Amino acid sequence: MTDANPIVSALDLAGYRLTEPRRAVADLIAEQTGHFTASELERVVRDRRLGISRATLFRALELLTELGVVERLDLPTGEHAYVPCARAHHHHVVCSRCGRTAEAEDCGVSDAVGEIARRTGFRIDSHRLELFGLCRHCQARTTSDA
């Protein structure tokens, strides 16, 4: 089987060894539709008896974060979560009901950042914008539910 999983290819391209555990983690991540926490993955690993240790899981996540194929974000609760994503700079919109995420491009954010830099006198090197709300699907459900 040629690897259909782009995460695996990313590892390969970056010159990392394609080990069994890494493939497994890559597959797990690839099947996530929204954000996920390390402990969620951990549970899946345990349930499916994939035999991947916690250390390896964290190492894989760290590696993939470095490669830019997943991104770490902070939920309003203070939890750390991960989202699979593309390399370019963008922002994440997280559904607080179902956990679905969407990526949003700049949309004028960098203009705002420039304006903030001007007003505060700071030289802004990086920024992080995280958005929380309801996805289309959950909005519809809320209207009919409540």
Considering the complex, state which of residue 18 and residue 131 has its C-beta at the smaller distance from a copy of itself.
131
- Amino acid residing at 14: A
Considering the complex, state which of residue 46 and residue 127 has its C-beta at the smaller distance from a copy of itself.
127
Alpha-carbon span 26 to 45, nearest angstrom: 12
Considering the complex, state which of residue 18 and residue 104 has its C-beta at the smaller distance from a copy of itself.
104
Q: Are the C-beta atoms of 83 and 47 separated by less than 8 Å? A: no
CA gyration radius, the chain: 18
Q: Which does 117 bind (CB under 5 to 8 A by kind): DNA, a copy of itself, none?
A: a copy of itself
Interface with a copy of itself in residues 31-90 (CB under 8 A): 72, 74, 76, 78, 80
- What is the enclosing helix (H) or strand (E) of 102? strand 101-104
Tokens of 11: 């590892």
Considering the complex, state which of residue 20 and residue 105 has its C-beta at the smaller distance from a copy of itself.
105
Output DSSP code: residue 73. E
60 touches DNA by CB under 7 A: yes
Q: Are the C-beta atoms of 64 and 51 separated by less than 8 Å? A: no
Residues that bind a copy of itself (CB under 8 A): 72, 74, 76, 78, 80, 91, 93, 95-96, 102, 104-109, 111-113, 115-117, 119-136, 139
